[in-house]
Structure formats: C-alpha cells, structure tokens
Chains A and B, each alone.
Chain A
Amino acid sequence: MTTTVTKLEKLVGKRIKRKEDPRLITGTATYVEDVKLPELLHAAILRSPHGAANIKSIDISKAAALPGVVAVYTGADILGVGSVVCAADLPGLRKPVHHILAQDRTYFVGHAVAVVVAKDRYVAADGVDLIEVDWQPTQAVTDPEKALAAGAPAVHPEWPDNTAFIHNQEGGDMAQAFADAEVVVKQRIVSQRLIPNPMETRGVVADWKQADKAMTIWTSTQIPHLARSILAGQLGLDENRVRLIAPEVGGGFGSKLNVYPEEALMGFVSMKLQKPVKWIESRRENFQTTIHGRGHVDYLEIAAKRDGTILGLKLKLIQDLGAYHQLLTPAIPTLSVLMMPGLYKFRNISAQVIGVFTNAVPTDAYRGAGRPEATHGIERMVDMLAAEIGMDPAEIRYKNFAGKDDFPFLTAAGLTYDSGDYAATLDKALEMIDYKGLREQQVQARAEGKLMGIGISTYGELCGFGPSPATPAGGWESATVKVEPSGKVTVMTGCSPHGQGQETSFAQIAADELGVPLDDVIVLHGDTSIVQYGIGTFGSRNTAVGGAALFYALQDIREKAKRFGAKMLGVEDGEVVLADGHCTDSNGNSVTFQQIAGAAYRGIVIPTGSEPGLVATRFWEPSNFAYPYGAHIIVSEVDKETGQIEIKRYLAVDDIGNIINPLLVDGQLHGGVAQGLGQALWEHGVYDDDGQLVSGTFMDYAMPRARMMPWIESAHTITPSPVNPLGAKGVGEAGTIGSTPAMVNSVVDALAPLGVRHIDMPMTAGKIWKLMQDSSIQEKKA
C-alpha cells in the first residue's frame, strides 16, 4: 500500500488573486448599510454647527410631532449610558468625560446633540431640521499653539491651559551631544491634520432582543471584539449577550480603530424602542466627527559633527488632540517619540510631547499613526543637515545607519529593532534609479534653468502591534483552525481584515501547512459569535501577529493529525511525516489529510492520550514589534511659472520581511504611497479660528485621484523578522511612512538653488509659487 505522494506547489510567496473578490466585484457583498431587518428604524443626528457653544435650551416638540418620527432623544436621555472610552493612559492625563450626546455644551463642529428616529431616513433627516436649539456660541480655539498661549479660550473650562498631558522621554545624554556638536540644525515641522476618509463612512445597526437580553450590533469597525467589550460596558449588558458583527468594511485606515458615540447610541435607541435601528454616517458627518489624523507641530534640533555623524535629536512636539480623547488619542504622539531616531545609530534623544485640547474633532490613529510624523521629522532633519554641511543625502544616511551586524539593535528611544540591512536596501534603490546618473542629469537640468529634485527617504517603522505591555487593550492575536470531517478547513482569525486580503493570504498559509487545496480553506472574521476573542486589524499587524497565531494553531493541527495518521498506519507517533497533504510512514505508506480528518471525527481510531476532533485555537503574544524599513526615492520637477510639482519617477524599495502574497503587498504599498503623497501634496483638514471645518467636503479636501498619482516602481529586499515564525514584518503603513519625506526632500532639493531649505505639507502649487516669489526677491536683494 505504498502511495506516490505528489509534491504540492507552495502557495506562500505566490501572486494569488483574492478569494474575497467575487462578492465585491459582483455587488453582492454586505456592508452595514446593506443590512436589512424587519421593522428597521432609521436614525439621523443633529450636530453642533458651532466650534464652541453653550446649549441654552433644546426644543424637540416640532420634530417629535412630525409624522413618521418615532422618537427624539437628547443629552438628558442618555445619562445612563457610559461615556466614550479612551484606552490609552499617560501619567497625569486629563480625561474629559465624553458623553454620547452633548450635555449643556458642545466642543466641536459636528458634536452630536440629539438623535431623531423615524420610519425612514428621509423623515429622520426632516426631523433633525425641526429641532430648535438656542445656542450661545463662545470663542473657539483650533490652533494648538494658540491654544497654549496665555489667555486662550479654554476648551474645557476646568483646564484653562488646554493641556491634557506633558510626556517627556530622554535617551542618552543630550547635553553632551549638543556640547560635542559642530553643527546644529533647527526646524519647525508641521504634520497637518488629515481626514482618513475611507470610502465607506461609518454605520451602525443595533438590534435588541428583550426576551433574550441580547444585542446584535453591526458596525463598520476594525476591532469587533474590543468594540463589543466596550459597548457592553457602556450599555450595561453582559458581554456574552452582545454579538458584534463587522460585516464587509469599506476601509478604515485607523479611523475605525475606535468606538464612537453613535455605536452605543444606536444600542440605547434599540433598547428604548425595542426595534432595530440603523444609522449611516453621511460624508459630511464623516469629515466632521470621525477621527482625524496627524495634527503635529514639531520643533526639532539635530546635533552633528561636520563629517555628518549625527549625535542627537531633540524634539518638542505639540499634538493637536481635538476636544476629547477617542480610543487611543493621547498615545499616538508617544509613538512618534519611539521612532524619532529612524534607522540611525546615534545614541541621544530628548523629547517633550504636549497634548493640547482644541475645539476640533479628536485626532487618533490614521495610517501610520505617529510614525509618519517621526519619520518625516528625522528624514527631513537628515536632509537639512546634509545640505548644511554640503554632503550628499545618500552619503549622510550610509554614514549613520545602524549596521547589519548591529541587530538586535537597541535604539536611543529604547526600542530593539529586530533585523535589517539598511545599506543594502538603499544600495538597491540607488542602483535601480541610477542615482549617479540622476545627479548628473540634475546638474544639466539646473544649467537649463529647470527645477529638478531628487528626494530620498530611508524610513523605518515599528509595526506588528505589538507586545501587549506596549499596546493599549492588548497586542496579541488569536486564531482557530477547524478541520471539518471532510478535511475542509475553516480558519477563524481575531484580526478583522477590511481590504487587506487575509481571507486569501491566511488561506495560503493554511493550505501550505496542511497540504490542502487553497479552495478547501475559508477564513472567517469579524463576528464575535463565530470567532474567538481577538484584537483586530491595525498597526500592520495582521500577518506578523495574526498570521503567527494562525501558524501555531496550524502546528497544533499538524501534530494531532500526525498522531491520528500514525495510529491509522499502525506505527509509532514519531515515525510519520505530514507533507503534501499526506501522512506517510517510513515504508512509504500514507493516509491523506482528508482521511485523517474523517477518522478524527468518526472517533473509532483515537490515538492514546488524544481525543476526537481536529480543532485548535492559539493566542499568540509577540515578544517585540516588527520593524520594516525601506528606501523611497522621488524625482520631481517644479514648474517655475506655476509652482506645480510633477513627479517624474517614484521608486520604492521596501524590506517588509517575508512576503506571503506579493500581489497583496503591491496593493498595500500603492495605497500607502497614495495616502502619503496625499499628505505631502494636497490633503489638509483646515479649521478656521471659529472652529468651522472649512475643508469639510470632497469639494475642498483634495483626495488623490487617478490622474494625480504617479506610476510607482517597486522592489524589495527581504530580511525576515526573527520575532514571528513567518518572518513577516508588515506592509500596511510602510508606503504612507516612506513617502512624505521623500516627496518633500525631492521638492526642497528642486528648489535648493533658490535657497529653500524646508517646506511644510501640503506642498500646494500656490505655496510653492509663493516660496519661489519670496526666494527670488531675496535673490535679487542679495
């Protein structure tokens, strides 16, 4: 009974098209807005039009009397519901109470004031217009630096200095670094407010069943289990009687790594009315009330030797927090401090983070969350230093990189980088783009009066969030592998992918480990009644952490399958191998994985000390973050007449560790780069001094469109991470982090002949033109 076992082709590492796509390309996927239930009611929310205002009175009588309106609730009705939760903590952190509907005062434009529940969304919207509020507007403050100034209006009257926290971190000996310095370069660098704008806005359906004391909530979230725990707490329900479903989620980028007032509010309404209720956020609400990203003002000082050796970096970071803390708001700028040193080996840092309340929607995690700001800071400062001492930007980077033999590398900020060969990645990028040739071309271009720039960023990031002590609400991940009697495999991941493609990449891993066809594996996620407790999707963690949990669960399945196989083949446990879907003994006799699965459930042949069934669950806690890195190079040209920037070439060489599916990796990178270029060139969430969000629709908030994006050339070096068994690092945020400094460095390089040394984002054509005007005036004067 010797069988020939055909070697199966490994799926990991292959460009495999996604298993999730058929439903998405045929219009048959179910997003929250597509959820329909009998007797479903619809909610619409009245929001503050003022940046800061007292509510003198609210009259809901006209709204309540409108035919079709079922109920209207205001702040007075919801006091039994818990306030919005912030999971982050810092010593001395001031935490304002954030009720799910405003009480006697509103703190930002869009602040929820009342909810109208009606038979359809049209009537609900009409009802909102009929609520009369007697507002008493007060002076708002939206600029974080102005908010810190003496005499500024207090966002929260109890804290007149508008300061939520001050966080200090020191590494090494900064005084010595500055004493030893031959050059010090200083710059104020702004990372502007950004609006995440996933194409699907937020939405919630809540369905309370009184008889069961059970609540089902569909919500567009990246963290179904955490959201369930928090919502159960807010609503006073048993956690096991709350089922939270993140159905198809139309993008998040961090903005859905949160639990918002509307989620508990819909739960409250459903419980009050004993009917299911739906709320779908409008785009305008999304702009005004879903978290924003960035909002940094950084004062940076870099100390160095004339030969380019960096000695230290000093940072004063003013973080615009907005009016409240959402789930992670105060933690985000602390990540910037951790990534301050970038890829460089200097030993001294000092940082002070000042968290500032403003009359604006809270900032929180947006793709990269803290790390793009840090990378932008160090990569800009390195370029400015290079310019100051007349050194090539590539050379100064080589001079300061942590060496490939330095790993694990303990940084000045206290992190231990896992693995890397930074010089090799930059080598590859410089070679691919013909850096030497480009510099020669630039000399020629400048001679012809053209403004050509070459910008390099060698970024690093921490991702694969993360060790639990360093990740609010936990940083582990879970996976269950359930092999059915037929041998078909169901994977349940605690991650909550929403576009990243883990239904495919996790199936690839499972198929390889178990030797089953890809089509035999399905991956479930996002439903707390189906999936074991998990953390969710953020911080480029799905593969590095969720994939690792899956890997270990698969090993448990393999071990058990081998024991069943050995028993079926009549040999000892250790005498079989499981490969290519077969369990084979030393004589070449084998049983298939499917036969083993059948036997495991039939229960007649049970290995000693084992038990029927073939299911394994693992919770995996990473010992460290993972640290991807890369080199992005942008060649640009500035139109002298208009200031418009043209990207001539975009090259990304990234080292994200081992790659499960290159097709998905390309997609993540391209998307990340688009968001980075969006920040560098166009996007800006602008509040005026009175708290109005003036870039409040797609008319004024410039999202990258197809015609604005360059072609992205991409390559990789591969340095596996030793932190997880897959050797994966993470790619979700790499493009966003690497791109902004490359873009700004490129344009600053283009304008260097005019004496330009720094430009804040977004580098709009008008801003560049103005800069050229001012520079040329200076030139003429000089």
Chain B
Amino acid sequence: MIANSFEYSAPGSLKEALALLAEGAKPLAGGMSLIPMMKLRLANPEHLVDIGRLPELNYIREEGGAIHIGAGVTHFEVESSPLLLGKCPLLAETAAYIGDIQVRNRGTLGGSVAHADPSADYPAALHALDAKIVLTSSEGTRTLSTEEFFLDTFTTALDPGEIVSEVIVPVDAGLTGTSYQKFLQPASGFAIVGAAARVRQEGGKFTMVRVGVTGLSGNGYRARNVEDALVGQDVTDANIKAAAALVADGQDASSDLHATAEYRAHLAGAYTARALRAALSRSA
C-alpha cells in the first residue's frame, strides 16, 4: 500500500523534462497505471518526472486536415472535446469507455498510449484511425504509425528518455462512420476485447474499412484481414459476419481467469461485427 521512496521533479517546461528523462528518470503523467503498481511495490522508479502538468502537452487543435492532441490531455478532455466529438468521434467514444470518471479525470492520452497495456482501449481506436504517434526526446522528434509504435505487450518503440508527446488523428469526412465496442472484464473494467471500426460505403459497397482490436492478444492490432475481406464487397450482414470471423486469425489469443483464449477469440469476432454494424449505421 506504500510506495518505495523516489525522487520527484516537476519541471516547468518540456525541455527541462526531456533533459531529466535523458538522465534516466521515468515520466509520470496521470499516474493511473503507474501509481497503483508503485503502491504494490511492483514498480519502483528511482526518479519521477511529472509531465502531467506541462502546458506544452495540453492541447487539442485542428491543423492541416488532422487533429493534434497533446499527450497531457486527459481521457475526460478527449471524451468531451467538441472538436473530437464533431470531427473524430471514435476517439471520444473510446475515451468514454476507459475506467471510470475519476480515472478519466486524471489519466492522460499520452500516458495510456505509452503504457501499451494489451487491454487498453485506445490502441483499438488509434489503429482504426490510422493515427500517428509523435515521440519526443532531448534528441528530437519522430512520428510513427500505430503499427510501428505498438510492438508487443507493454512494449512500444519508445527509446529510453523518449516520451509520447502528441497523437495525430484524422478529420473524418462526413461519410465515415465509426464505433468502438467493448466487452468489459467485470472486476477491473478493462477490455476483455474491444473492437474499433471505421467504415465508408458508396453505392452499397464498402469503400474503406479500418478495424482495430484490443484485449484479444498481447498487443492491440489492426485487423487487416478483416479490412481486406470487406473492401469492395457489398454491404451485407453476411459479409460483415464472415469478415469479422477472421479477426482472430493469426493471433495468439490470451487466456486468464476471466476469459479463455477460445472465448476471447469468439468475442473478438462478435465485437468486431458489432463495431462494424454500428459504424455502418453511422456512415451516411
């Protein structure tokens, strides 16, 4: 219940923070994942740099046809942002599924993305959105696709000293419909599976399909096989079902106290279909 001792820095600027991180300190954003682990003494960082309150990481703005979200933006700010609700509702909808009000008030987009929890909600949406993750260190900045960024269970492309500084999501054209559907683990509220879908249709055919999945296996992923199976096909429920059934192919489904691998894989298909249907109903 009590964390080990650590040193704490609350730098006033990003530059200062990055300098400390370059020396080996660990970032503390909202702390929603880190602090419980520290209290159980499973995480024992020696030096924490509080990046949760840096104004430089706290913005949501539209720029060049995309929406740029600072890593310090909280889940509540994502879920309630008029800009996102209007132009990228999938991310807002997904944020509303995270934890509870208190967690969403403190937890940050950047913190969650960097943590890369295999059951976190954001990865599904970010994969479906073709989002870009901006990484910053004292050496500079680089921008990665989600597939380049999320590598494995709790493992990302972040180098030591580097933080997630921004997430870029597209402004979805009016014809795009999106949805995130989640099957909750009853105790923790994490996703047993979560599926995000983003579709466009024209003339009764799917013209664009993106599917992102979380919870099923060790890492959130983009279900390209489902996408490929649908693009160019007729918009029918049979096609959706058949494509969604492919979602777990090639994935090493996880098994735990709450869901066997077999059940998870089944749910992934069911929730992918649900997300596709809901997204479709929202695409004009």
Closest chain-B Cβ to A759's Cβ sits at a distance in Å of 16
Q: Which of B104-112, B170-178, B263-271 contacts A (4 or more CB under 8 A)?
A: B263-271
Distance A703 CA – B263 CA, assembled complex (angstroms):
22
- Which residue on chain A has the smallest CB distance to residue B270? A641
Q: Indicate whether A766 reaches chain B with its CB closer than 8 angstroms.
A: yes
Residue in A283, A686, A700 whose beta carbon sits within 8 Å of that of B188 in the complex: A700
A682 pairs with B270, CB closer than 8 A: no
Distance A129 CA – B44 CA, assembled complex (angstroms):
13
Residue in B1, B41, B186, B262 whose beta carbon sits within 8 Å of that of A129 in the complex: B41
Closest chain-A Cβ to B284's Cβ sits at a distance in Å of 28
Q: Indicate whether B242 reaches chain A with its CB closer than 8 angstroms.
A: no
Distance A129 CA – B41 CA, assembled complex (angstroms):
10
Q: Indicate whether B38 reaches chain A with its CB closer than 8 angstroms.
A: no
Distance A699 CA – B99 CA, assembled complex (angstroms):
12
Distance A227 CA – B258 CA, assembled complex (angstroms):
39
Given the complex, which residues of A lie within 8 Å of B183, measured CB to CB? 642, 765
Distance A698 CA – B185 CA, assembled complex (angstroms):
11
Which B1-49 residues have a C-beta within 8 angstroms of A?
Answer: 1-2, 4-5, 40-41
- Which residue on chain A has the smallest CB distance to residue B100? A705
Distance A716 CA – B266 CA, assembled complex (angstroms):
44
Distance A122 CA – B259 CA, assembled complex (angstroms):
37
Q: Indicate whether A529 reaches chain B with its CB closer than 8 angstroms.
A: no
Q: Indicate whether B238 reaches chain A with its CB closer than 8 angstroms.
A: no
Distance A700 CA – B188 CA, assembled complex (angstroms):
7
B188 pairs with A699, CB closer than 8 A: yes
Residue in B257, B259, B260, B270 whose beta carbon sits within 8 Å of that of A694 in the complex: B257
- Given A121-B2, A122-B2, A770-B263, the answer on whether A703 and B187 have CB atoms closer than 8 Å is yes
Given the complex, which residues of B lie within 8 Å of A682, measured CB to CB? 186-187
A125 pairs with B2, CB closer than 8 A: yes
Given the complex, which residues of B lie within 8 Å of A699, measured CB to CB? 187-188
As a 0/1 sequence over residues 748 to 769 of chain A, the CB contacts with chain B under 8 angstroms (1 = contact) are: 0000000000000000111001
Distance A91 CA – B183 CA, assembled complex (angstroms):
50
Distance A39 CA – B258 CA, assembled complex (angstroms):
46
A766 pairs with B2, CB closer than 8 A: no
Given the complex, which residues of B lie within 8 Å of A765, measured CB to CB? 183
Distance A765 CA – B183 CA, assembled complex (angstroms):
10
Given the complex, which residues of A lie within 8 Å of B186, measured CB to CB? 682, 702, 708, 764
As a 0/1 sequence over residues 241 to 260 of chain B, the CB contacts with chain A under 8 angstroms (1 = contact) are: 00000000000000001111
- Given A122-B2, A641-B270, the answer on whether A766 and B260 have CB atoms closer than 8 Å is yes
Residue in A284, A694, A698, A701 whose beta carbon sits within 8 Å of that of B40 in the complex: A284
Q: Indicate whether A471 reaches chain B with its CB closer than 8 angstroms.
A: no
Distance A703 CA – B5 CA, assembled complex (angstroms):
32
Given the complex, which residues of A lie within 8 Å of B259, measured CB to CB? 766
Distance A682 CA – B187 CA, assembled complex (angstroms):
8
B267 pairs with A700, CB closer than 8 A: no
Q: Indicate whether A126 reaches chain B with its CB closer than 8 angstroms.
A: yes
- Which residue on chain A has the smallest CB distance to residue B5? A126
Given the complex, which residues of B lie within 8 Å of A686, measured CB to CB? 257
Distance A125 CA – B39 CA, assembled complex (angstroms):
11
Given the complex, which residues of A lie within 8 Å of B260, measured CB to CB? 766, 770
Given the complex, which residues of B lie within 8 Å of A121, measured CB to CB? 2
Given the complex, which residues of B lie within 8 Å of A764, measured CB to CB? 186, 258
Given the complex, which residues of B lie within 8 Å of A168, measured CB to CB? none
B187 pairs with A766, CB closer than 8 A: no
B263 pairs with A701, CB closer than 8 A: no
A642 pairs with B187, CB closer than 8 A: no
Distance A695 CA – B263 CA, assembled complex (angstroms):
19
Distance A551 CA – B260 CA, assembled complex (angstroms):
56
Distance A698 CA – B187 CA, assembled complex (angstroms):
6
Closest chain-A Cβ to B210's Cβ sits at a distance in Å of 23
Closest chain-B Cβ to A639's Cβ sits at a distance in Å of 9
B257 pairs with A769, CB closer than 8 A: no
Closest chain-B Cβ to A690's Cβ sits at a distance in Å of 15
Closest chain-A Cβ to B38's Cβ sits at a distance in Å of 12
A766 pairs with B1, CB closer than 8 A: no
Closest chain-A Cβ to B144's Cβ sits at a distance in Å of 30
Given the complex, which residues of A lie within 8 Å of B41, measured CB to CB? 129
A700 pairs with B258, CB closer than 8 A: yes
Q: Indicate whether A282 reaches chain B with its CB closer than 8 angstroms.
A: yes
Which B166-224 residues have a C-beta within 8 angstroms of A?
Answer: 183, 185-188
- Given A122-B2, A282-B1, A766-B263, the answer on whether A642 and B270 have CB atoms closer than 8 Å is yes
- Which residue on chain A has the smallest CB distance to residue B267? A642
Closest chain-A Cβ to B192's Cβ sits at a distance in Å of 8
Distance A698 CA – B41 CA, assembled complex (angstroms):
17
Given the complex, which residues of A lie within 8 Å of B267, measured CB to CB? 642
Which A106-128 residues have a C-beta within 8 angstroms of B?
Answer: 121-122, 125-126
Distance A642 CA – B273 CA, assembled complex (angstroms):
12
Given the complex, which residues of A lie within 8 Å of B262, measured CB to CB? 770
Given the complex, which residues of A lie within 8 Å of B266, measured CB to CB? 769
- Which residue on chain A has the smallest CB distance to residue B260? A766
Closest chain-A Cβ to B225's Cβ sits at a distance in Å of 21
Interface centre among B40, B185, B266 (most CB of A within 10 A): B266
Given the complex, which residues of A lie within 8 Å of B188, measured CB to CB? 698-700
Which B144-171 residues have a C-beta within 8 angstroms of A?
Answer: none
Distance A699 CA – B2 CA, assembled complex (angstroms):
18
Closest chain-B Cβ to A683's Cβ sits at a distance in Å of 9
Distance A265 CA – B204 CA, assembled complex (angstroms):
74
- Which residue on chain B has the smallest CB distance to residue A201? B1
Which A681-714 residues have a C-beta within 8 angstroms of B?
Answer: 682, 686, 694-695, 698-703, 708
A766 pairs with B270, CB closer than 8 A: no
- Which residue on chain A has the smallest CB distance to residue B256? A700
Closest chain-B Cβ to A656's Cβ sits at a distance in Å of 30
B187 pairs with A702, CB closer than 8 A: yes
Distance A39 CA – B185 CA, assembled complex (angstroms):
45
Residue in A125, A283, A695 whose beta carbon sits within 8 Å of that of B257 in the complex: A695
- Given A284-B40, A769-B263, the answer on whether A700 and B257 have CB atoms closer than 8 Å is yes
Distance A473 CA – B260 CA, assembled complex (angstroms):
46
- Given A641-B270, A698-B187, the answer on whether A125 and B1 have CB atoms closer than 8 Å is yes
Closest chain-B Cβ to A746's Cβ sits at a distance in Å of 18
Distance A450 CA – B64 CA, assembled complex (angstroms):
50
Given the complex, which residues of A lie within 8 Å of B187, measured CB to CB? 682, 695, 698-703
Given the complex, which residues of A lie within 8 Å of B263, measured CB to CB? 766, 769-770
Distance A126 CA – B260 CA, assembled complex (angstroms):
38
Distance A702 CA – B270 CA, assembled complex (angstroms):
23
- Which residue on chain B has the smallest CB distance to residue A121? B2
Which A581-628 residues have a C-beta within 8 angstroms of B?
Answer: none
Distance A284 CA – B186 CA, assembled complex (angstroms):
19
- Which residue on chain B has the smallest CB distance to residue A686? B257
Interface centre among B1, B259, B267 (most CB of A within 10 A): B1
- Which residue on chain B has the smallest CB distance to residue A703? B187
Given the complex, which residues of B lie within 8 Å of A770, measured CB to CB? 260, 262-263
As a 0/1 sequence over residues 119 to 143 of chain A, the CB contacts with chain B under 8 angstroms (1 = contact) are: 0011001100100000000000000
Given the complex, which residues of A lie within 8 Å of B5, measured CB to CB? 126
Distance A686 CA – B188 CA, assembled complex (angstroms):
16
As a 0/1 sequence over residues 273 to 285 of chain A, the CB contacts with chain B under 8 angstroms (1 = contact) are: 0000000001110
7 contacts between A and B (CB under 8 A): A125-B1, A126-B2, A699-B187, A700-B258, A703-B187, A766-B258, A770-B262
- Besides A686-B257, A694-B257, A770-B262, 5 more A-B contacts (Cβ < 8 Å) are A642-B267, A698-B187, A702-B187, A765-B183, A770-B260
Residues of A within 8 A of B (CB): 121-122, 125-126, 129, 282-284, 641-642, 682, 686, 694-695, 698-703, 708, 764-766, 769-770
Residues of B within 8 A of A (CB): 1-2, 4-5, 40-41, 183, 185-188, 257-260, 262-263, 266-267, 270
The 9 lowest CB-CB distance pairs between A and B, nearest first, are A702-B187, A702-B186, A125-B2, A282-B1, A766-B263, A699-B188, A641-B270, A682-B186, A766-B259
